């Protein structure tokens, strides 16, 4: 009987403690909806303020570009967070670099351009991205990787450095 009574007291003490803890937790002030919390997962976001500013500038610059008949050259622009890439050099030798991936999706003005005008538009875009990234003073210098694709997702160009031929499959 004595053991049974101790078990009842122990159980009552536990229940009282649990009830008190729940009551105290319920007394906290509700979270302030106006207070901004930092994002929990940042791997898909640009967290560097300087790169965020460059991203905004790239969006604005691309939206100003026009193609045939004054129609927008690019319909959509995506600037992704810096990502490591591997570039091949020779046989079995690779160089790792962190790049800023930028994806331009062609707009209604793209189709009316001649092939050499498309080449020039892509080269101008890559030079513009490179110049804006040089201004950030990132160490080591951050360079862009530019992808140009159709709205359907067909990749027309993927550039880490300029060549003679940068646009493929859209001639």
CB atoms within 10 A of CB 94: 11
| Whether the model pTM is above 0.75 | no
Q: Three-class SS string for the chain?
A: CHHHHHHHHHHHHHHHHHHHHHHHHHCCCCCCCCCCCCCCCCCCCCCCHHHHHHHHHHHHHHHHCECHHHCECEEEEEECCCEEEEEECCCCCEEEEEEEEEEEEECCCCCCCCHHHHHHHHHHHHHHHHHHHHCCCCCCCCEEEEEEECCCCCEEEEECCCCCCCCCCCC
CATH class for domain 49-159?
alpha beta
Give the start-to-end residue ranges of the domains of the chain: 49-159
Distance CA 166, CA 151 (A): 18
Q: Report the chain's mean pLDDT, rounded to a whole number.
A: 82
Per-residue pLDDT tens digits for 56-104: 999 999 999 998 889 999 999 999 998 888 776 666 666 778 889 999 9
| Confidence at residue 169, expressed as pLDDT on a 0 to 100 scale | 59
């Amino acid at each position: 009987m004595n053991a049974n009574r101790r078990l009842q007291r122990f159980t009552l003490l536990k229940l009282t403690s649990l009830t008190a803890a729940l009551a105290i937790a319920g007394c906290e002030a509700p979270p302030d909806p106006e207070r901004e919390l930092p994002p929990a997962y940042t791997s898909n976001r640009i967290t560097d303020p300087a790169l965020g500013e460059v991203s905004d500038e790239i969006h604005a610059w691309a939206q100003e570009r026009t193609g045939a008949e004054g129609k927008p050259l690019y319909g959509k622009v995506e600037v992704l967070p810096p990502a490591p890439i591997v570039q091949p050099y020779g046989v079995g030798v690779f160089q790792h670099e962190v790049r800023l991936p930028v994806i331009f999706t062609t707009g209604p003005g793209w189709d009316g351009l001649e092939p050499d005008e498309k080449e020039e538009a892509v080269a101008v875009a890559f030079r513009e991205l490179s110049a804006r990234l040089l201004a950030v003073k990132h160490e080591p210098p951050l360079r862009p990787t530019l992808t140009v694709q159709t709205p359907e997702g067909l990749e027309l160009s993927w550039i880490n450095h300029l060549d003679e031929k940068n646009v493929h499959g859209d001639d």
